[in-house]
Structure 1
Amino acid sequence: MTDFMQTIYVILWGVLALLTFAVGIKQKAPYAFIISACFVFMAVWYALDAYSGIYMFAGTFGIVYKVVLGIFLVLIVGAYILSRRRGNKK
């Protein structure tokens, strides 16, 4: 991938993190903060891959990346389900 595209990815994940954080504050949605944290993680991961010279998507780092994203997925789904259940009780 070119340097330009890597920079675009870093900016994209950073902007998405800010937007979901703002939505989380406005909507008081707990899952939005988890999604925002996921986007921050991805922005940092892509920045490390783009600018440090370390291959962050190969080998052990690639496995760590996939495990962390799986954990975020479980947390996001769990928070969403809990918020929907609490909303239905009201």
Structure 2
Amino acid sequence: MTDFMQNVYVILWGVLALLTFAVGIKQKAPYAFVISAFFVFMTVWYALDTYSGIDMFAGTFGIVFKVVLVAVLALFVGFYFLSKRRGNGK
């Protein structure tokens, strides 16, 4: 991947983190803060990969990254089905 695209990814994740945080404040939605925290994690991870020279997607770091992604995905899917179940009960 080129240096330009790596910088774009860092900026993209950072902007998404700020936007979801702003939405969380405006809508008073706690799930937006969880998503914002995930985007902050992605921003830091990609920034470390881009600017530190450490390959953050290989070896142990790659495994940690994948475990965090699966955990966040499971959390989001759980929140989705829980909200659907609560919505159908009303």
Shared topology, TM-score over 0.5?
yes
Partner of 1:66: 66
Higher relative contact order (CA 8 A, sep 6+): 1
Q: State the identity %.
A: 81
Distance in structure 2 (CA, Å) of the matches to 1:31 and 1:24? 7
Unaligned stretches of 5+ in structure 1? none
1:76 is displaced (CA, Å) by 2.1
2:38 corresponding residue in structure 1:
38
When the two structures are aligned, how many residues end up with a matched partner?
90
Runs of 4+ in 1 over 6 A off after TM superposition: none
Q: What's the CA shift for 1:78?
A: 2.6
The answer to whether the 8 Å contact 1:34/1:76 transfers is no
Unaligned runs of 5+ in 2: none
1:15 is the counterpart of 2:15: yes
Q: Could you tell me whether the CA contact under 8 Å between 1:13 and 1:43 is conserved in 2?
A: yes
TM-score by length of structure 2 reads 0.85
Q: d(CA) in 1 for partners of 2:88 and 2:30?
A: 16
